[in-house]
Amino acid sequence: MSPQPPGVAEREPVRTFATAVPAGAADGVADASVLGRRLAGLLGGSQTPTNAVVIDARTGRQLFAQNGDRPATPASTTKLVTSVAALAALGPEHRIATKVVRGGGGVVLVGGGDPTLTALPASAGQGRPAFASLADLARQTAAALKASGTRRVRVDYDATAYQGPRTAAGWKPNYLPDGEVAPVSALTVDEGRVAPGTLTKTRVGDPPAAAAAAFARMLTRNGVAATRGRPTRAPEDAARLGAVQSPPLSVLVEHLMTESDNDVAEAVARQVAMNRGYPPSFAGGAQAVMEVLGELGVSAGVMVNDGSGLSTGNRITPIALARLVALAASDDRPQLRAAITGMPVAGFSGTLSPPRYMTPSSAAGAGLVRAKTGTLAGVSTLAGYAYDADGRLLAFAFMTGDGTGTVDPSRLDALAAIVASCACT
């Protein structure tokens, strides 16, 4: 784990307190006293440390805070940070290319960092985006090779678009064997899953080698006898034989937010690094993301080691998360909208699917709350937005647990339901 800022890593017990910020009727924001009483009533009954913030998304006015400026482990709400930075730096239309070029031993499969490249058949209408197809790339390549009279090749592979370690500071040893994420690589197929399209989470140990082997099999089926070769770096001027592209970044962001996809989040962070001239590594991605957030004016209270939020060393304040939600929801930043539209709908989609928002205390938020979840051992977080009963757009962030003991995500759902159902006039 990387060193933490003073006062962050050591989360000593402190007396928490809630504040409700008065709001004048003239400015059109919600009555903070009503909302504050309801939230404080629920928060007051728990021994688990909880940091919380609610703001008026239009004005930025803080309506409720309990340790709102105190950094906490964000878990997968880190993906909101990554998504906003990527959309701002790269634009929603950015795509990631995977290509095949001529090489000394035959051909080189060159990864550009798209973990959603798939060997599965097209699955229109099955609930996932139209990811780039390895089969399509094999068909293009086989056609080009046969046109030149080549019927036998070795498939070397180039994953040098990424640098540094394949796991981040603060990642627990069980993440890879448990299949929470694959070893991060610039060349991977189906996120390195051993059995893509099934519920099996197991990942391959060497994603680039597995990708090259799968591609060689597809070339063979297309009439070009192929064997997997070795890792290499493709010449910059090598002749291109085929290429496929990922869906637009806006689609990737919506997917990673809805499904809390760790592999895509790490890939997106590295795309920011490459765009900003930083090393395409965990450290470079974090530097690039922070640089973009600084330009947007929302870097205060954010410190990250990765793009997915798996790192236990990440620290973000609730007010920082709420401000990011408000920024992405702003009419002035339409390029950031995918970070909002990708948030799961309470009780209906993604990581907020049932049984969440099915209890009496949270049901009022079903269909009304949209939020990014975060879960690590001893930590649960929720950051998103809702229109209150009077039609005001409120952004919130709730962060509970300090990495020890148990946490109850349903309490955060109940807090968000209060935000969505409050007639705070």
Distance separating alpha carbons of residues 223 and 22, to the nearest angstrom: 73
Give how far Cα 118 sits from Cα of 10, 15, 96, 318, 348, Å. 43, 50, 13, 36, 27
Rounded distance, CA 271 to CA 269, Å? 5
Q: Of the listed 76, 250, 311, 362, which one is catalytic?
A: 76
If we measure between CA atoms, which residue out of 313, 247, 330 comes closest to residue 78?
Answer: 313
* The two three-digit tokens of residue 359, written as one number: 């209890």
How distant, in Å, are the alpha carbons of 77, 195, 305 from that of 174? 20, 19, 18
Angle at 39 between CA 33 and CA 44, to 5 degrees: 115
308: annotated active-site residue: no
CB 335 within 8 A of CB 248: no
Encoded tokens for 72: 């906490």
Is residue 380 annotated as part of the catalytic site, yes or no? no
Question: In degrees to the nearest 10, what's the CA dihedral of 158, 162, 163, 165?
Answer: -100
- The answer to whether the CB of 181 falls within 8 A of the CB of 256 is no
- Enter the tokens of residue 299: 């870097």
The conformation of residue 238, written as its DSSP 8-state character, comes to: P
d(CA 201, CA 188): 15
Catalytic residue among 260, 281, 362, 380: 260
Beta bridge partners of 195: none
Beta strands in 114-171 (DSSP E): 152-158
Gap between the Cα atoms of 290 and 314, Å rounded: 13
Check if 201 is active-site.
no
Rounded-to-integer distance, Cα 368 and Cα 242, Å: 45
CA nearest to 258, candidates 329, 328, 180, 353: 353
Give 146-151's long-range contacts (Cβ < 8 A, gap of 24+): 146/223, 146/224, 150/106, 150/224, 151/223, 151/224, 151/225
Catalytically annotated residues: 76, 79, 260
